[in-house]
Amino acid sequence: MIKKISVSIVILVIASCSSVKKNTQANTTNKINLIEKVSGNNIKPSRSTQIINYSGIYGINDASFNVASSAINYKGSILLTDTNNNLIRQIKDNKITTYVGNGQKENIAGQYTKASLNNPENITVDSKKNIYVSVNYNQIKKIDNFGNVTHFAGKYSPGWIDGGVDSAKETASFKFISSLVVNKNDEIYVADKNKIRKIGLDGKVTTIAGGDQGGDKQGKALESLFNQISDIELNNEQELYIVDQVNGKIKKLGTDGLITTFIPKGIIKWPSSIAVSNKGFVLVFDSSDKILYVFDKQGKLIKTLKSNILASQDYSFQMKITVDEYDNVIIPSKDFINIINKDSQITKIGEKNGNCRNGIINEATFNYPYDGVFDTNGNLYVIEKGNRVIRKISEKGLVSTFSGNGKYGRTVGVAQNTSFINTEAVAIDSFGNLYVVDGDWKEVCVKKIDANGTSSVFIDPKSKNLEIGRWNDLVFDSQNNLYVSDNVKNKVFRFDSLGNIIEFNLSVKLNGPAGLAMDKNDNLFICDSNNNRIVKVSKDNKTEIIVANNYIFFDEPENITIDNLGNLYVTDRNRTRIIKMDLNLDSEIFLEESSLGKNKNHNFSEYTNTLKIEAFKNEIYVFDKYDNQISKLK
C-alpha cells in the first residue's frame, strides 16, 4: 500500500457625515437606552491585525484528497479532480502534487495554480492534450498545454439551451453535467442529466439524445428517454455507451443514431461509471455494492472483482473510472486513487480520512470547520460540518474526534454512535457539557454532549410544541440558562438548566437575530442583523441599542464574541469583516472583509457565507470554513 506523499460595552452610534441617523426602535419604548457617541470626522483606520494559522492545512498545500471524482491519463501521469479541494491533482511516481487550481471556490481564469476552479468533477482530454473539466455542475473549463485555464462552454445559470456557433459560451447552458468524453474528431460529448449534448469543433452545442423528462425509451436518439445518466464512454468504433443509472441499464448510441440496450436491468444494482479497455472490454463500477464488472464487446459478463480494499472506501456520486495505456483500471474514491493491474492487485494512493486528520495541531486537517467554543482549560471544540463530527483541539495542541461517527442522522448515544445532520452552533455550560444546534430548519434540536462525547437530546422543539423557524446561535448565562436565537421567528428563546422554556420578552422588535454573546455580568448581546445593530439585554431585562461609532456602520452584523477585557467583536459586511468595540465605546475595523474567507463562494447568499468567531482570553479565533482552517487573530 502506498500512502500519501506530501506536504461591557458597545454603544451604538448611528451617524452620517453631518447628522445622527435616528433609530426608529428607540422611540417605541422608554425601556430602551440608545447611547450615541461620535468622535472625529473620519473613520478610524484599520488596525494591523496579525492572522496566525491555529490549525488546519490549506488544501493546495496538502496532499490528501477531499472527494476524488474523475481521472485521466496525461503525459505519463494521472490527473485527478480533487473536487472539494477545488483542485486538479497530478499523480506521478506515486507522488501527489497540485497541477491546476489555487483552492479557491471560484472560476477565475489563470495559469496552473493561479487559476481557480469551483468544484471540478468530470475531466477529459482531446488529441492535442487540451483538458476539459466540468465545474459548478453546469460549466466547462479548458486547460491548454501551457496550463492556461479559460472558460469554454456553459452559462452560470443551469438550463438546456443549445448555443450558436458565435456565442456558445454566452448562450449555451447545461443543467447538470455528469460526464465528458472526446471522440476521435475532438468533438465533446456531455452527459447532462437526462440528455446527451455535443460540442462541435466550431463551439456549437447541440442535443443529440434524450429528452426533458426522465423515462426509459429506446429507438431514435432524439426520441429516447433516460433517467439520470451518470457516465458515458466511447468504444473504438465510436459507439457511445450510456450509464442510465436509475433505470439500472447500460445503453448504447450506435453510429446509426439508434439507442439500444447493451446491458439490461438486473445485472448491476447501481451502475455508476463505465470505461473501455484497450482490447475493447467494457468495465462498469457499482459504487453501491462496490463491485467492478467486466463485459465483452457483446455485453456478456466475463468476470467481477470484489475486494475488501474497495469495499472499505466511500465513493462520490460523481466518481468516474478510467483505464490507462497499460490496461490498469483507475478507481477514485473520496480518499484514494485505486490502481488495479491485470492481476487484480490494488495499489492505493492517498490517505484515509485525509480531510479529517487528527494528531499534531499544525498537521491536522478539517473539512468545513464552522463554529467552536473553548472550555475553561483552553480545550477548543469545533463543529465540523463537512465530516459531521465534533473535533477537539486540546490545550496541548492535539486534535482528536470528540463525538460523531461522520454519518448523516439523528442517532444519540456514545461518541462513536452519535450522528449529526447539520450542526449550526455550539455552546458550553459551567459543567463543561457541550450543546449543539443540529438539524434542518424546523426539524432542529439541541443535543447535549458530555465530557465523554456521549450525546442526548436536550431540547426537542416539537415535543415542547414550540413554533420555531431557524435556530442560529446559542449561549449560556452564569445560571446555565440557555438562550437560542431564531432568525426566522425574529426572537430569542430562553430555557432553564433542565431544558424548560422560560418566558423571555424584549422591549424591542428584532429582525433577523443571529449571533449571541454573554459577558461576565450576564449581559446578553444579540446581533440584530437586519436592523444593522446590536441589542444588549441586561440581567434585569433592560435593553440598550448598540451601534458602532467613529463613522463605522454595521452592515448586517452576524456573529459576536467578547474577550476577557470586555471588548466586543462583531462580524458584519460580507459576514467576514470584524469590528472591535472597546469599553470606552471606541470602534475600529479589527479585520477587513477581504482578509479571510478568500475561498468563499460568492454565488451563495451572504448568510451561507458567514464566518463565526470565538474569543478565548484576549485572542480571537475565526473558523474559516472556506479554507478549512482555524485562524487566530492578534
Lookup result for grid cell 462580524: 571
Q: How confident is the model at residue 295 (pLDDT cuts 50, 70, 90)?
A: very high
pLDDT (mean) for 233-238: 97
CA distance 333 to 90: 16
Could you read off the pLDDT of 532-590 as tens digits, one per residue? 999 999 999 999 999 888 889 999 999 999 999 999 999 998 888 999 999 877 899 99
Determine the pLDDT at residue 15. 30
Determine the pLDDT at residue 166. 55
Strands 148-153 and 177-182 turn out to be: unpaired
**pTM for this prediction:** 0.83
SS3 352: coil
Could you read off the pLDDT of 494-546 as tens digits, one per residue? 999 999 999 999 999 999 999 999 999 999 999 999 999 999 999 999 999 99
Q: How confident is the model at residue 627 (pLDDT cuts 50, 70, 90)?
A: confident
Determine the pLDDT at residue 626. 84
Q: Is the pLDDT of residue 14 over 50?
A: no
Q: How confident is the model at residue 141 (pLDDT cuts 50, 70, 90)?
A: very high
Determine the pLDDT at residue 60. 87
Provide the terminal-to-terminal Cα distance of the chain, rounded to the nearest Å: 43
Q: How confident is the model at residue 168 (pLDDT cuts 50, 70, 90)?
A: low
Those residues with Cβ within 8 angstroms of residue 630's Cβ, 6 or more apart along the chain or in another chain: 53, 54, 55, 56, 366, 369, 372, 380, 382, 393, 621, 622, 623, 624
Please report the beta strands in 93-130, taking only residues with DSSP state E, as ranges in sequence order.
95-100, 110-111, 123-125
Please report the beta strands in 422-577, taking only residues with DSSP state E, as ranges in sequence order.
423-428, 434-438, 445-449, 455-459, 471-476, 482-486, 491-495, 501-502, 513-518, 524-528, 533-537, 543-546, 559-562, 568-571
Determine the pLDDT at residue 59. 82
pLDDT (mean) for 412-417: 98
CA distance 629 to 633: 13
pLDDT (mean) for 236-249: 97
Q: Which three cell numbers stand for residue 269?
A: 444494482
Percent of the residues in the chain that have a pLDDT greater than 90, as a whole number: 79
Of residues 628 and 4, more confidence is placed in: 628
Average pLDDT, the chain: 89
Determine the pLDDT at residue 11. 35
CA distance 37 to 585: 8
